Structure 1
Amino acid sequence: MTNWTYRLATAGAGVVLTLGVLAGCSSEPPPPPTNSAPVIVPGAPGEEASTIPPGEASVAEQPGPNDADKAFITDMIVHHQQAVYMSGLAPERASSSDVKGLASRIHDVQGPEIDMMNRWLSQHAIPTVNPNAPHGHGRSGGDMPGMATPEQLDALEKAKGQAFDTLFLQLMIAHHQGALSMADEVRKNGVDVRVQEIADGVTAEQSDEIRRMQKWLGG
């Protein structure tokens, strides 16, 4: 082998070795992305939310539900139970297809919501509400907003046809408006993020239904 040939072979081996090292380096997995966004922690009632650095997010303690959160969920279950009961009267008593359709929707939506809220209570070691209770008329210390009285429920049970439609809409509008008041209260005084989401859902869902029921009554 000539001196010139030897130098070419040596240079070629060096290139191959360098490429191999680079290939080995490129096979290393990239470092995981870091989250640079701050984490927002809800504040107590009347206080602003605070932020914590992303590196401390895993050790930050989220605030547990306060009394307003617990009362809202417990009361809203009872509130829902009465709406489900009232809606269950519609198939055999209502004459309007609109009323029957709305009653069916309320029954099918709020029934599962009762189960969901009872699971929330269980997760926080709070006594659950009997899901098989027929319906609630109120609570100790004053009725919940919008709850129908026993006399109003008796009248609804006895009504048929258009009379049922009208009374059902009147009672359910008041019932939904009461739920909106309860949701507004917990948004102001509660701290639990999940409860805030439930309250927002109640507001959006029942505000739309109120508008429809008011339109039917006005027509």
Structure 2
Amino acid sequence: MSSIKRALRRPPHRRLAAVGIVAAGALLLSACGSDDDMNGMDQGSKSASPTASQEAGANPAPGAFNDADVIFAQGMIPHHQQAVEMAQLADGRASDAEVKTLAGAIEKAQDPEIKTMQSWLKAWDKPGAADESMPGMDHGSGGMDGMMSEKDMKDLTASKGTDFDKKFAQMMIEHHTGAITMAEGEQKNGSNATAKKLAGEIVKTQTAEVGQLNKILDRL
């Protein structure tokens, strides 16, 4: 008797049992494969997600901060902005080569620092730079340490040649001295390590520039 005939003559319940065993085995293998695939997918997504979120939410000034840190950033931003404005006036007005070079260095150093401090305030969820609506921050009257008044800025803008060089040096010495005082206050009262580090850099850089400006005045 052929194998086909023997299979046909096999009792129905045995044929169903065999089919059931094969189907169960197939389902088991399929389930195992799916678990492995899903586990692999989970592991891949878990390893990628934290990195992406950490990079997107990187804090430019990590760690604790206090009111002194916030006030330092809010005050130093407009202070730097005015220094950059003064430095930009040197183009086409200054006649002394050293004044021109120093003005360029001031703009190059302080413009990125403005952006840095703005990023701190955003990360800290605090208001931006101090403005004329804030008590003691009237730019036009020189309310902050070393800030030039509106009249001072008009006088500097109207000057040229050696007259500009002298006024620029005199005003920038006063301006830098005010920034140094503000930065020293941050070093003493601030708590954020990143903010205190920048304050130290401002003290060091601007103290050196005050010395250079005094030498320029002596020879003009």
TM-score range (shorter-chain normalised) is 0.5 to 0.7
Instruction: Rate the CA distance shift 1:205–1:163 in 2: closer, same or farther, 3 A.
Output: same
In the superposition, relative to structure 1, how do residues 138 and 93 fare at CA in structure 2: closer, same or farther (>3 Å)? Answer: farther
Residues 176-215 of structure 1: matches in 2 within 5 Å?
176-215=176-215
In structure 2, the residue matched to 1:41 is none
Match of 2:32 in 1: none
* Amino acid of the structure 2 residue aligned with 1:184: E
RMSD: 1.9
Q: CA 1:150–1:164 in structure 2 vs 1: closer, same or farther (change >3 Å)?
A: same
2:135 to 113, 136, 140: 140
Amino acid in structure 2 at the alignment position of 1:141: G
Normalised TM-score (structure 1): 0.66
The runs of 4+ residues in structure 1 deviating greater than 4 Å are 136-139
Looking at structure 2, the residues matched to 89 and 72 of structure 1 have their Cα atoms a distance apart, in angstroms, of 26
Q: 1:177 to 1:139 in 2, by over 3 A?
A: farther
DSSP-derived class of the 2:196 partner: helix
Provide, for residues 14-38 of structure 1, a one-character-per-residue CA deviation record: whole Å limited to 9, x for no partner.
xxxxxxxxxxxxxxxxxxxxxxxxx
Amino acid at match of 1:140: P
Structure number, greater radius of gyration? 2
Letter in structure 2 aligned against 1:112: P
Contact 1:146–1:176 (8 Å) recurs in 2: yes
Unaligned runs of 5+ in 2: 1-61, 138-142
8 Å Cα contact 1:137-1:147 kept in structure 2: no
| Structure 1 residues 139 and 95: alpha-carbon distance in aligned structure 2, compared to 1, 3 A threshold | farther
Kept in 2, the 8 Å contact 1:138–1:144? The answer is: no
Offset from partner CA, 1:81-140 (integer Å, 9 cap, x none): 00000001001100001001100111111111111111111111112349xxxxx78962
Deviation readout 1:173-215 (Å, 9 max, x if unpaired) = 0000000100111111111111110100100110110100001
Question: Does the aligned pair in 2 maintain the 1:138–1:147 contact within 8 Å?
Answer: no
